[in-house]
Structure 1
Amino acid sequence: MQNLWYKNAIVYSLDVETFMDSDGDGVGDFPGLTQKLDYLAGLGITCLWLLPFYPSPNRDNGYDVMDYYGVDPRLGTLGDFVEFMHKARERGIRVIVDLVVNHTSIAHPWFQEARSDRNSKYRNYYVWSDNPPPADPKHIAFPDVEDSLWDYDDKAGAYYLHHFYKEQPDLNIANPAVREEICKIMGFWLELGVSGFRIDAAPFLIQGIGIPDAKPEDLEGFLIEMREFLVSRRADAILLAEANVDADQIGVYFGNGDKMQMLFSFLLNQHMFLALARQDAATLVEGLKILPDAHHTCQWLNFVRHHDELTLDRLQESEIQEIFQAFAPEENMQMWGRGVRRRLPPMLEGDRQRVELVYSLLLTLPGTPMLRYGEEIGMGDDLSLEGRGSVRTVMQWSSKANGGFSSAPADKLARPAIDTGEYGYQKLNVTSQQRDPNSILSWMERAIRTRKQYPEFGSGKWKIVATNEPSVFAHSSQQNGNTVIAIHNLSAQPRTITMKSAEDPHLLDVFSDRPYEQIDCHSNSIEISGYGYRWFQVN
């Protein structure tokens, strides 16, 4: 029997360098993260996703890796990592790590040898051209910075391929030696206890754009190779792909249950924000229905925000503008004309009821929920920082200097702290919210605890429950004879709904935005507040 633990995990994403600094140098580290494991366990987290922590020049937030077998010295030692893994396992918390193998750093020893010696075995680890073709702008990951997929290297005497920054040369995935090296990297971290990998930029990994004679079916087959290697070393480990693709391409990553176990649900995420902007349940239903059926071992990872911009590129231009108008009306809040560089509370103007509504949706929509660090306390953003830096400020632990993140001078921090306004650490922090039973942190702990009691939301068979109100989204999930129903009102106006296809009128309120009158067992008429939410167990 397969271990499908990921179907009902509570995932928490963090960057070690911005979470907790243990030694006062201004940079978060593994000893600091280890100190906070009890906090994470208390919140109800069962799986951590760690952003890259490998040695790196940090041109791209650690995604430019120069050693796949080590820990950035700023963040600790390999011994610190092993101790962290031991302590996490004691608390029942699994760990997945970023596998960044579409590209390396230009400073990686492989690239340095490749550019220095045409006869080196590492030369074919990368993709070279003497006369590269013109770049299609849609294939450039950072169009505001780079204008080409190729950059000339004087020492190599040739152009090298890069879809991201020019400091990140693409690896040649068509080379069997590169594939073997990737599996070796996976094997190393699996031996140290990780439960899987988040595959960064998965489409770039297998599309083969710019690689001469690359066959798409061969590159896609590498996903199966990765999965086979993974389960040969650890049967319960998972692969989670970052693949923001159209619905007809999703099968490339799930396969027949023999490739990735999990995918980020980018399509549903974008439709959710469009539905929130329109206050229209049909838009959210559409987002669910365009997702293809997948093998029973496959799962979606749902999220509100992550470490990048809120990308909207699978929507129509008019739909993107609707979201901008509702949640990012100023140009400084937008990114590349297709994304929002804000955290959720500022997008919703600090409306606590609406914030709760969105996270209630996150916890009940079909799939596994993921929180990003700071979401549990309603952290804000700093739009004075460039690009994605606006949503990458340090964790706010207390009202002490730097939010309790570090004792270093503020100008020495790895990332700035938010120190002014309603989202400044003086007003918004873990310590103050832990003392307040009405805080968003206390609410999140209760919501997660309740969600864990009803695994049907994560692994059950879902269906839409029709109502008589266009703004009210209702769905049920059923598993092993148990059924739960969640109802969400996307509008500010209270509604009284009639569920047209409820399984049973005997509904037990298990979680809601406020106390409601008990539902008459002879009636399927249900009240719900403006921006309200109600979870029911069907008896």
Structure 2
Amino acid sequence: MLCSLAAISLFFSSCSNNSSQQKSDVDSSGNKKNDWWKEVVVYQIYPRSFKDSNGDGIGDLKGIISKLDYIKSLGIDVVWLNPIFESPNKDNGYDISNYEAIMKEFGTMADFDTLLQGMHERGIKLVLDLVANHSSDQHPWFIEARKSRKNPYYEYYHWWPAEKGKPPFRQGFFDVDGSAWTFNAPTNSYYLHYFSQYQPDLNWENPKVREEIFNIMKFWFNKGIDGFRMDVIPFISKDTSFPVITPEILKEKYNGDWAQYYASGPNLHTYLREMNAEVLSKYNDMSVAEGAGVTLATANDFVDADRHELNMLYNFDGVNYGYLPGKFKTPDPNGYKLPGFKRIYTEWDSVFANKGWGTIYLGNHDQPRMVSRWGNDSPEFREPSSKMLTTFLLSMRATPYYYFGDELGMSNIKFDKIEDYRDIETINMYKQIQLKGGNLQEFLNAQKISARDNSRTPFQWNNSPNAGFTTGTPWIKVNPNYTTVNVEDEAKDPNSCLNYFKKMVLLRKLHKDVLVYGKYQLLDPDNPKIYAYTRGEGAKKMLVVLNFSKDRVGWDLPAGMQIKPVPLINNYNTFIPGKTLSLEPYQAVILELK
């Protein structure tokens, strides 16, 4: 058993303890507790890959509807859906051509209404993806804008007149030539796109554009959704003089990071406060920024409640750790160093110690599978390391964002050929390296660990053909390990990753004064294999010990620390208490302190 009978009884006996503790409306750092989004577990669904209802090989809204009881069984509180809006799908829905219509492959607005009602009936809140930095080049606004400089929609986007010469360089993240400008002949000007040429950046400096975006948000809030995850929202403000940014300036002022420059627009926080005043403040919503370019120093500019902007943001420091400098998403062959990993998450916890609120995640649609990147996806260690990472995510002082399929321990598919990839980022970076005469095999080997498509393979429901995802041909290949890693088999196994996830969610809820709001304190920061920390303080305190290695490791309790002998949760069947804890490979335990 993952938890002894005594430990399970502690789950339920703690309910009475928690009820009295909830009379306090502040946490250990003085932050208010009454914001519902602080206590939730967010479950992210990539609709294209979750469940196909009609056999076309593409996941859809009816597919999600058919699995609402499964989603409810996880114990999660909020579902975040990746974009479901009308789109030509150059970037899998992050290029929107109609913000108030449903992508045809996904279904209809009636399907959406049914989905939203079904979630709310089950006590689940729904958060949508707001892509407001850019639109699709097929959006009616841009179709009009590119016709003539005199067209009123021309001012909905950013342009550089060709008579001024070539525009100053801006890094484009997705296009082959690496430039964020593309020439448009009818207007004799270049349009700006921080991502691909199919995703022109919207001109937030135009008040009509802001009004359009705010009306789109109101449309969805009035339908009853519960919030937005905001795609690259720190990039919306531009310095419209477009100064020359030399490599020296970029290094000196922005740590050599174009994202930090893009997140430093002069009117960014003015626009976010306007969004809050016009829209967000009128709803009991949840707002989270994809915090590209946001640093430890700037984070609370977005989420300090006194600033009236957003609720939360998620940063990239953690998921970008362990890549080789100067090489596109190439992991260090020696692996990442645990002390550095601990330092990052400890620093980010400290940012929100007195104000604001944090998030934590290890995987999403832009990242590889967490067990392949941060754990060990070999047959021997996939399950224990997946459970260990789940323990970490759900025992930190932040709102956890958990990516669909990670509850099963789904792992990277690790494609061998570029032809198997569907993601614009991987495909165009391959072409860019090819044009430069770079090492393509080195790139493909790195993508086996870091490519976004690793997390976009179909959800594994059972061991039938295509993992029960579709009766047709899936839009991207299914991971061959679906025959053993799937919902149907794991639901029957009390020791599975799936059932461990459910127990960990329950533990977090029943001990929320400690595991949600309690103080975080790192122990033994330089230990290369053990990540240990306490949560809470005083009479109510817990110890979390995580073995991030494939070795059996002994770890000495700090002097004077005493533990209760039965773990609240344990991803192995064995645990021997003592002054020295003996931990199995990737073992995770949470212990109450005496």
Which interval holds the TM-score relative to the shorter structure?
Answer: 0.7 to 0.9
User: Does the 8 A contact of 1:508 with 1:538 survive in 2?
Assistant: no
User: Does the 8 A contact of 1:140 with 1:147 survive in 2?
Assistant: yes
Confirm or deny that 1:302 pairs with 2:360.
yes
Unaligned runs of 5+ in 2: 1-31, 245-261, 324-330, 427-451
Confirm or deny that 1:415 pairs with 2:472.
no
Confirm or deny that 1:399 pairs with 2:463.
yes
Deviations 1:72-124 (A, max 9, x none): 12211111111111110111111111110111111100111112243333211
Instruction: State the SS of the aligned residue for 1:206.
Output: coil
CA drift of 1:298 comes to 3.0
Instruction: State the SS of the aligned residue for 1:268.
Output: coil
CA drift of 1:359 comes to 2.1
Residue in structure 2 matched with residue 332 of structure 1 by the alignment: none
Q: For structure 1, which segment, 174-183 or 47-56, has the greater mean C-alpha deviation from structure 2 after superposition?
A: 174-183
Change (3 A) 1:288 1:346: closer
User: Does the 8 A contact of 1:280 with 1:472 survive in 2?
Assistant: no
In structure 1, distance between residues paired with 2:154 and 2:538: 55
Confirm or deny that 1:263 pairs with 2:313.
yes
Residue in structure 2 matched with residue 370 of structure 1 by the alignment: 401
Instruction: State the SS of the aligned residue for 1:305.
Output: coil
Instruction: State the SS of the aligned residue for 1:129.
Output: strand
Instruction: Map 1:3-152 to 2 at 5 A.
Output: 3-131=34-162, 133-136=166-169, 139-142=171-174, 145-152=176-183
CA drift of 1:343 comes to 4.6
Residue in structure 1 matched with residue 13 of structure 2 by the alignment: none
Please, which of 281, 284, 287 is the counterpart of residue 232 of structure 1?
A: 281
Instruction: State the SS of the aligned residue for 1:221.
Output: helix
In structure 2, distance between residues paired with 1:481 and 1:226: 42
Please, which of 434, 443, 456 is the counterpart of residue 491 of structure 2?
A: 434
Residue in structure 2 matched with residue 248 of structure 1 by the alignment: 297
In structure 2, distance between residues paired with 1:68 and 1:81: 14
Deviations 1:136-160 (A, max 9, x none): 46x32125x2432211112333211
Change (3 A) 1:64 1:480: farther
Please, which of 549, 552, 557 is the counterpart of residue 499 of structure 1?
A: 557
User: Does the 8 A contact of 2:458 with 2:476 survive in 1?
Assistant: yes
Instruction: State the SS of the aligned residue for 2:71.
Output: helix
Instruction: State the SS of the aligned residue for 1:13.
Output: strand
Tell me which amino acid in the other structure corresponds to 1:304: L
Identity of aligned residues (%): 28
Deviations 1:318-359 (A, max 9, x none): xxxxxxxxxxxxxxxxxxxxxx99954995324222222222
User: Does the 8 A contact of 1:202 with 1:241 survive in 2?
Assistant: yes
User: Does the 8 A contact of 1:14 with 1:49 survive in 2?
Assistant: yes
Instruction: Map 1:98-497 to 2 at 5 A.
Output: 98-131=129-162, 133-136=166-169, 139-142=171-174, 145-208=176-239, 216-255=265-304, 256=306, 258-271=308-321, 281-291=338-348, 293-294=351-352, 298-309=356-367, 343-344=372-373, 348-350=377-379, 351=381, 352-382=383-413, 383=415, 384=417, 385-386=420-421, 387=426, 388-408=452-472, 410=473, 413-418=474-479, 420=480, 423=481, 425-455=482-512, 456-466=514-524, 470-478=528-536, 482-497=540-555
CA drift of 1:3 comes to 3.8
Change (3 A) 1:95 1:494: same
Length-normalised TM-score, structure 2: 0.76
CA drift of 1:220 comes to 2.4
CA drift of 1:251 comes to 3.4
Tell me which amino acid in the other structure corresponds to 2:572: R
In structure 2, distance between residues paired with 1:472 and 1:341: 18
Tell me which amino acid in the other structure corresponds to 1:436: D
In structure 2, distance between residues paired with 1:470 and 1:426: 35
Change (3 A) 1:491 1:25: closer
Change (3 A) 1:190 1:526: same
Aligned residues: 498
In structure 2, distance between residues paired with 1:342 and 1:441: 14
CA drift of 1:209 comes to 6.9
User: Does the 8 A contact of 1:37 with 1:88 survive in 2?
Assistant: yes
Tell me which amino acid in the other structure corresponds to 1:231: L
Instruction: State the SS of the aligned residue for 1:96.
Output: strand
Residue in structure 1 matched with residue 445 of structure 2 by the alignment: none
CA drift of 1:502 comes to 6.5
In structure 2, distance between residues paired with 1:152 and 1:9: 45
Residue in structure 1 matched with residue 585 of structure 2 by the alignment: 530
CA drift of 1:181 comes to 1.2
Instruction: State the SS of the aligned residue for 1:306.
Output: coil
In structure 2, distance between residues paired with 1:114 and 1:180: 17
Change (3 A) 1:170 1:125: same
Unaligned runs of 5+ in 1: 311-339
Residue in structure 2 matched with residue 325 of structure 1 by the alignment: none
CA drift of 1:240 comes to 3.3
Residue in structure 1 matched with residue 24 of structure 2 by the alignment: none
Superposition RMSD in Å? 3.1
User: Does the 8 A contact of 1:174 with 1:219 survive in 2?
Assistant: no
User: Does the 8 A contact of 1:198 with 1:242 survive in 2?
Assistant: no
In structure 2, distance between residues paired with 1:31 and 1:262: 30
In structure 2, distance between residues paired with 1:123 and 1:295: 45
Deviations 1:205-228 (A, max 9, x none): 235477689993423221122223
In structure 1, distance between residues paired with 2:591 and 2:285: 32
Change (3 A) 1:171 1:300: same
User: Does the 8 A contact of 2:52 with 2:470 survive in 1?
Assistant: yes
Change (3 A) 1:535 1:73: same
Change (3 A) 1:489 1:210: farther
CA drift of 1:444 comes to 2.0
In structure 2, distance between residues paired with 1:120 and 1:373: 43
Length-normalised TM-score, structure 1: 0.83
Instruction: State the SS of the aligned residue for 1:380.
Output: coil
User: Does the 8 A contact of 1:41 with 1:93 survive in 2?
Assistant: yes
Instruction: State the SS of the aligned residue for 1:253.
Output: helix
Change (3 A) 1:344 1:36: farther
In structure 1, distance between residues paired with 2:215 and 2:560: 51
User: Does the 8 A contact of 1:98 with 1:198 survive in 2?
Assistant: yes
Tell me which amino acid in the other structure corresponds to 1:141: F
CA drift of 1:272 comes to 8.5
Instruction: State the SS of the aligned residue for 1:69.
Output: strand
Q: For structure 1, which segment, 247-256 or 481-490, has the greater mean C-alpha deviation from structure 2 after superposition?
A: 247-256
CA drift of 1:27 comes to 2.1
In structure 2, distance between residues paired with 1:169 and 1:34: 33
Deviations 1:418-441 (A, max 9, x none): 3x3xx2x33332112222223222
CA drift of 1:503 comes to 6.3
User: Does the 8 A contact of 2:371 with 2:385 survive in 1?
Assistant: no
User: Does the 8 A contact of 1:345 with 1:378 survive in 2?
Assistant: no
